[in-house]
């Protein structure tokens, strides 16, 4: 039987990847990248940290194989590394949410009171029937980087000015970054306040995409 040494190397390599998920700052970057690829400066700003720091975290993520980097002229574009990376990140997030009351509480504080929710499968069926208007309320760049087929982009900031763009004979479904993203909640509240029938997709774009990539995900 081989030495325990090789086995040790194995665990060390996996831990290297695990370390990538051990810092809130890195997770925040990963969360942003799950929506759309970005440059270092944008990532730094949107996650509220210094550029140098963000760069270091991004390198750590890159070393762990969780993100890819491509040079685009003068900027470097980071993107999430692929299905595996996305799957781990979502699994970790969900497990944490399921396990810790603290997360629940924080989420509730952040998201506000509940609004009506619709599941992925139901949405798919109703889209096929032409039964609903689907609105992507994330920032326009994230929509541009990828979105649910058939969705219309109305960033949450512009929603109240662009209400008439939504046909009023159909129910509205809003979605955003995921279950812990406040945009869709907010959108549904605004729509309800205007007397519109609206609900939000239970999760967001990354989950939808992952489900499309590997149809067996629940």
Site for its own copies, rule CB under 8 A: 1-2, 4, 6-28, 31, 48, 65, 81, 84-85, 87-88, 91-96, 98-100, 102-103, 106-107, 109-112, 180, 182, 186, 214, 216-218
User: What stretches of the chain show up as alpha helix (H) in DSSP?
Assistant: 4-19, 24-33, 40-46, 51-63, 83-99, 101-111, 120-128, 140-145, 183-193, 205-213
To the query of whether residue 181 is one of the catalytic residues in this protein, the response is no
CA 33 – CA 115 distance, rounded (Å): 27
The residues that touch DNA, with contacts defined as CB under 7 A, are: 19, 22-26, 39-41, 49-53, 55-60, 69, 71, 73-77
Q: Which is nearer to its own copies, 3 or 161 (CB)?
A: 3
* 85 neighbors 66 (Cβ within 8 angstroms): yes
CA 202, 190, 28, 150 dihedral sign is positive
Are 199 and 171 a contacting pair, CB within 8 Å? yes
Binds 4, which of DNA, its own copies, none (CB < 5 to 8 A, cut-off by type)? its own copies
The residue among 118 and 182 lying less far from its own copies, judged by its C-beta, is: 182
Which does residue 121 touch among DNA, its own copies, none (CB within 5 to 8 A, set by kind)? Answer: none
Q: Which is nearer to DNA, 76 or 163 (CB)?
A: 76
Catalytic residue among 176, 191, 198, 201: 176
Active-site positions read 176
């Amino acid at each position: 039987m081989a030495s325990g040494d090789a086995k040790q190397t194995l665990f060390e390599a996996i831990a290297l990847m695990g370390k990538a998920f051990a810092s809130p700052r890195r997770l925040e970057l990963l969360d942003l990248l799950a929506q759309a690829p970005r440059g270092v400066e944008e990532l730094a700003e949107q996650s509220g940290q210094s550029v140098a720091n963000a760069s270091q975290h991004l390198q750590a993520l890159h070393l762990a194989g969780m993100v890819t980097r491509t040079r685009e002229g003068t900027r470097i574009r980071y993107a999430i590394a692929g299905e595996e990376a996305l799957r781990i990140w979502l699994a970790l997030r969900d497990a944490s949410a399921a396990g810790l009351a603290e997360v629940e509480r924080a989420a509730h504080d952040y998201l506000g009171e509940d609004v009506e929710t619709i599941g992925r499968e139901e949405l798919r069926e109703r889209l096929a029937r032409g039964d609903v208007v689907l609105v992507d309320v994330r920032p326009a760049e994230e929509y541009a980087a990828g979105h649910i087929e058939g969705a219309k982009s109305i960033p949450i900031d512009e929603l109240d000015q662009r209400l008439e763009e939504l046909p009023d004979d159909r129910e509205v479904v809003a979605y955003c970054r995921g279950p812990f993203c406040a945009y869709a909640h907010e959108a549904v509240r605004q729509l309800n306040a205007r007397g519109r029938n609206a609900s939000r997709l239970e999760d967001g774009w990354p989950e939808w995409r992952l489900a499309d990539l590997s149809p067996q995900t629940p």
